[in-house]
Amino acid sequence: MSTAALAAKAPDYVRRISPYVGGKPIEEVARELGLAPERIVKLASNENPRGPSPKALSAVASAAADLTRYPDGNAYALKAALSRRLAVAPEQIVFGNGSNDVLELVTHAFLRGGDEAVYSQHAFAVYPLATQARGATGVAVRARDFGHDLPAMLAAITPRTRVVFVANPNNPTGTWIEPERLQAFIASVPAEVLVVLDEAYNEYLEPSQQAEATRWIARHPNLIVTRSFSKAYGLAALRIGYGVMDAAVADMLNRVRQPFNVNALAQAAALAALDDVAYVEESRRLNREGLAQLASGFARLRLRALPSSGNFVLVEVGDAVRVYGALLREGVIVRPVANYELPQWLRVTVGLPEENERFLAALERALAA
Ligand SMILES: *Cc1c(COP(=O)(O)O)cnc(C)c1O
């Protein structure tokens, strides 16, 4: 049997998936363009340009002393710390190999062929992927002003809908929904439909903007709130995130979860990072300044950019493929978003001040060429 014929034996819903394309790694750009890695600026994956808290780094070093034992599959210490922080029971928390894993666990536990999942146009690419991987049907609802059209999403719910995904703030658009509107939406979703509220960028919001969504779960047991250690906490390489949900929903996710899905280094780092509140605050402050720096750069270049509540911004550059390529050749990696139905735009992660400056200067040259 030829390998093509072998691949054809995969279910057609798997063969129809277009694989996720991430930000281009620094090493790959260095290899392909013959540039020195240390000269390359990566503003493509919404990572924290400051890196992780030094406390997280030293926790990793200590944990690295024992790589022989399996990690705690129940993440006891981290779960206890987080449950205190969020005032939820430990049984309500499910850790994942990145919050991406938690999104997968939701679809694994709750979707089968014929079911539907609702999400917004321009919303995070993992929602359609995780839905399709279960043979379920994704229903993308047309965006409104680049953000979630909540009334239209509500109207898209049918008796077949099992899950609704909402990203707040949304990636890649940076749009944000006020807590009051979000809560009213959740209250309107039928009780038998799960709402996954993806708060991967929650820590970048000003404290006054942060919804206390995990507290809504008591009243809305169909709500799952997911968060990540990859973005503001700067631990993307370790892969750790979590979901907070009703204990009965967590029980279902745990049945399909790999017993050791979160490694020991990630657990140790996350525990230390959680404690370093000042580090996150400083990251938020630096991000706010970086957003302002980029906004004034775009204004100077007469480019339209969307107001962003995350650590990234969408900017309209016209021929995005060409501009992306020109930036790459200067050693600046950003993210094309044609796969999000935004072919004229690029997504740029907020970097350190000098990285933002390098990007803006390269962008100016790219647009003039
Ligand atoms: C980055 C991101 C995630 C996933 O992050 P993990 O690294 O898997 O924790 C989830 N949702 C959104 C909207 C993101 O941008």
Write down the architecture of domain 3-51+278-368 according to CATH.
Answer: Alpha-Beta Complex (3.90)
**Hey, whose CA ends up nearest to atom 2 of ligand 1?**
200
CA dist., res. 283 & res. 258, Å (int): 32
Q: What is the pLDDT of residue 21?
A: 86
Topology adopted by domain 54-276: Aspartate Aminotransferase; domain 2 (3.40.640)
Mutation test of ligand 1: which of 106, 107, 230, 339 has the most ligand atoms closer than 8 Å to its C-beta?
230
20-50 residue pLDDT tens: 888 999 999 999 999 999 999 999 999 999 9
Q: What is the pLDDT of residue 1?
A: 76
Mean pLDDT, rounded, of the chain:
97
- C-beta separation of 249 from 217 below 8 A: no
Q: Does residue 8 carry a pLDDT above 80?
A: yes
Of all atoms in ligand 1, which is nearest to the CA of residue 99?
A: 9
- C-beta separation of 233 from 273 below 8 A: yes
pTM of the model as a whole: 0.97
CA dist., res. 151 & res. 154, Å (int): 5
Q: What is the mean pLDDT of residues 182-210?
A: 97
* Residues lining ligand 1, Cβ inside 6 A: 46, 98-100, 124, 167, 171, 198, 200, 228, 230, 236, 241
User: Which pLDDT band holds residue 174 (cuts at 50, 70, 90)?
Assistant: very high
Residues across the chain: 369
DSSP states of 254-288 as a string? HHHS-TT-S-HHHHHHHHHHHH-HHHHHHHHHHHH
Pair of tokens at residue 258: 């790999």
Of all atoms in ligand 1, which is nearest to the CA of residue 101?
A: 8
67-82 residue pLDDT tens: 999 999 999 999 999 9
Pair of tokens at residue 286: 């630096």
Q: What is the pLDDT of residue 84?
A: 97
Within 10 A of 247 (CB to CB), how many other CB atoms are there? Answer: 14
Distance 104 CA to ligand 1 centre (A): 12
Same fold, 3-51+278-368 and 54-276: no
CA dist., res. 338 & res. 97, Å (int): 27
Sequence spans of domains, the chain: 3-51+278-368, 54-276
CA dist., res. 128 & res. 323, Å (int): 27
